[in-house]
Structure formats: structure tokens, C-alpha cells
Structure 1
């Protein structure tokens, strides 16, 4: 069984957040606190909110508002709130941008293997992206979870009655895709993405024989 991450593995995602963050840093940086300092505060707020509120654009916009309040030591003004709300448009729309080679590669792999999609985040938001991608027909199941941890992977292989060592998790995030899957006994395919969210970064043991490293999605056809 091949299990696929969605955001930044099948389609572009974090680059959209980074574009908004870039504008936010320009707005908030000033005397006494540069862009790097603002980003450090925002990263800390996002990390805390991910634990209590989860993931997705609504939580992200909430984090921007909280960051403004923390940095300015007061509640946001109506104008500031409107500016933050305006960034919601960046995450709306009926389409997604597939990463190169994804559609063709998944179609071929689906003829050879059982494929499953595993993604985390806001259910409605992720369902919209899955539908917009046109890829759902390749998967035997689509699972949207609050968090991707060891228990998530253990539950998934049990649900499909699969021996963990015969399953592969494929994704771009060391923290959510690679490390917990390996801890649950699955193999993993690590396909790095230039714009992986900073909070998803972690070290992957280069000596771990259970992790296959690829530079492009289409290379999966050489191995599966």
C-alpha cells in the first residue's frame, strides 16, 4: 500500500501562505523589530495554535491577528482586521496547482498498487482541494485527520489490514510524513519541497534504509 500526503506533495500549498507572510512581514516590520524578528514571533504563535486549533487558512489568519496584537500590545483596529481578512482570498477558489508529474504518476501507480491519501487540516478546506485536484479516483480511501502522528499511521494500517513494513508513506514533511511513519513501522519516501512549512522541518536520518529519498514525484515509477 502506498500512502500519499497531499499539501506540497501532490499540489502546491505552503507557497501561498509564504506569499501572504511576505506581505505581512513588510507590513509589521519597523524600527526595533525587523522582518526576521516578526517571523520568529509569528512562528511561535503558529506552533502554539497548531496544537490547540489545528491547521488551515482560518487558523493561519487567526495567528496573523494574534501576532499583530502581541507586537502592538493592543487589540487590532477595524482597519487592521479588514486587512487580515482580505488575505483570505488567497486561499479561496476552485482550483489547485498540481505539482509536476503528479497526475500521470498517480494514474500509473493506481494500476499497480493500492493507493491511499492521508492529509491533515481543516476538513472542509482539504475536501475542497481534493475535489479540485481531480485525483480522488486514484485512491481507495481519503483520510483527513487532525494530526499525523504515530497513532495515526498505526490506525491506518490496521484499518486496511496491512503489515506496516509493506506500506510506504510518501510526502515532503519530515515531521508529519516521514518520522512518525517510520516510528510506526512503515517505510517512507521523502520528496523534499523548497517551500515546506518551517514547522514541518525535522532531521531525517540519512542512514535510515527505510527512507527512500527522491528529487521529483515522477521518480516513484522507477521504484513502485
Structure 2
């Protein structure tokens, strides 16, 4: 992969957190695998159960937003939708227990983050911009020990073009020196491009399926970089 020459210092880098700075979705995937095994549905395949769960999660996100409580609600609702048996208090507790590993795991920084982020912070303005539950994201950031590299933290309900416009207004950012960096085409790349910003798509093999989209084309005057990992970011900025 050919990388561009390093961009000038003084850029503003909006950085996603989950699956860009640290592992996140792999823990949800483990919980989902345990849930599907527990459901042990005889009429639906594992793939069909997962498809139903994906749709339930879409519904739940619209109603309740993101976060662990929303995910737990989705598991229970999916079980109710597919199981011929009612969800007893014991079953409810068991279903919710599959998500405990998500909140209990240590923060696992992705390769290159610990080395590259301080160098980026020395040359550019870094703002963490990650959607999710604000309390949960603040806790993960604190445990990551990366907070001191960021001049600000934004946790919008959704990362859509309006959210990017709002951040640009709040911090008086100019689009031609502002970049969104993340692993999600749906939340990081496409809406940032639509808002007139540059974008860096860092591939992650386990990006949440609800964040999948075809990556848009950058318009004239915009930059769109696609990188294999965070380490490559240090060679660009």
C-alpha cells in the first residue's frame, strides 16, 4: 500500500475509540456466540438467529441508543421473539450474564496505538469523537490511560453529518484541516465525507455488522485514506 507524504502539523484529528483505539466488538461477538448456543434453536440455524438479533439490535438502538444495557435488552428481546418458552426470571438473568464479560475485560489497545498516539498529539490537535453510552465511554477512556492525549471528548448519540457539523462549529474547525479517523464506514467515514471533512478508514477485521457500508468516494479537494492499521497513521501524520 502506498502511503502519502506526511501531512503538515496542525491538523485536527477526530478519532473514534471502539475498534479504532482499542478492541471492543470481539467481546460482543463472544457474548453473542454464547447466547446463540444457549438458545439452541431447533428451527433456526445459528446464522438465522444472528440475522434476527441484528434486526432486533437495529430496533433497540433506535429506541434506546447504544451501550451495554441496550445490548442486554436486545438479547432478551431476541430470545422472546424466537423461543417457544417464556423468559423466566432465571432465564433473563442467564441471558444478561452473557454480557458481563464485556464490562469486565481489560482495555486492549490495538497495535500501534500506544506508540503512535503520543506522536500524533505532539503534532496535531486530537479530539475523541465516539458514539455510545457516555458513562461507559468515559470509563473506557479512563482505563485506557489515553485521555491526556485529547484536547476534548465528544460522545454524540449518532455520528451523522449533523454531528460532524456541530463539532466543527463548537471547536471552530476548518474542513480542509480536519480529519475523521475510524473503522466504521457508516459512522466514521461516510458521514464525515458528507460533512466536507477528510477521512481515514482504518480497517478492522471485526467491525460490528451494523456499521458496514460501502465506502463513499471523496469529492474534489477531500482526502480519503484507507489504512491497514493504526501504525500506518503515524506515517501519514
- RMSD of aligned Cα (Å): 1.5
2:182 equivalent in structure 1: 171
2:230 equivalent in structure 1: 217
**Preserved CA contact (<8 Å) 1:45 1:67:** yes
Q: Which moved more, 1:29-38 or 1:168-177?
A: 29-38
Distance 2:225 2:94 in 1: 43
1:122 equivalent in structure 2: 133
Deviation at 1:93, TM superposition (A): 3.2
Distance 2:62 2:31 in 1: 22
Q: Deviations over 1:58-108 (max 9, x none)?
A: 110110000010112564112211211212321223731110110211100
Q: What pairs with 1:163-202 in structure 2 (closer than 5 Å)?
A: 163-202=174-213
2:9 equivalent in structure 1: none
Q: What pairs with 1:1-224 in structure 2 (closer than 5 Å)?
A: 1-73=12-84, 75-93=86-104, 95-205=106-216, 210-224=223-237
Which TM-score applies when normalising by structure 1? 0.95
Distance 1:147 1:74 in 2: 35
Q: Deviations over 1:165-216 (max 9, x none)?
A: 2100000000000000000000000001111000000001367662100001
Change (3 A) 1:206 1:151: closer
Q: Which moved more, 1:21-30 or 1:48-57?
A: 21-30
Distance 1:75 1:29 in 2: 15
Q: Which runs of 5+ in 2 are unaligned?
A: 1-11
Moved over 3 A (4+): 205-209
Distance 1:136 1:112 in 2: 16
Distance 1:51 1:41 in 2: 16
Change (3 A) 1:207 1:177: closer
Distance 2:224 2:140 in 1: 27
Which TM-score applies when normalising by structure 2? 0.90
In the comparison of the two structures, how many residue pairs are matched? 224
**Preserved CA contact (<8 Å) 1:94 1:132:** no
Q: Which runs of 5+ in 1 are unaligned?
A: none
Distance 2:85 2:189 in 1: 40
Q: Deviations over 1:132-171 (max 9, x none)?
A: 0000000000111211111110011111111112100000
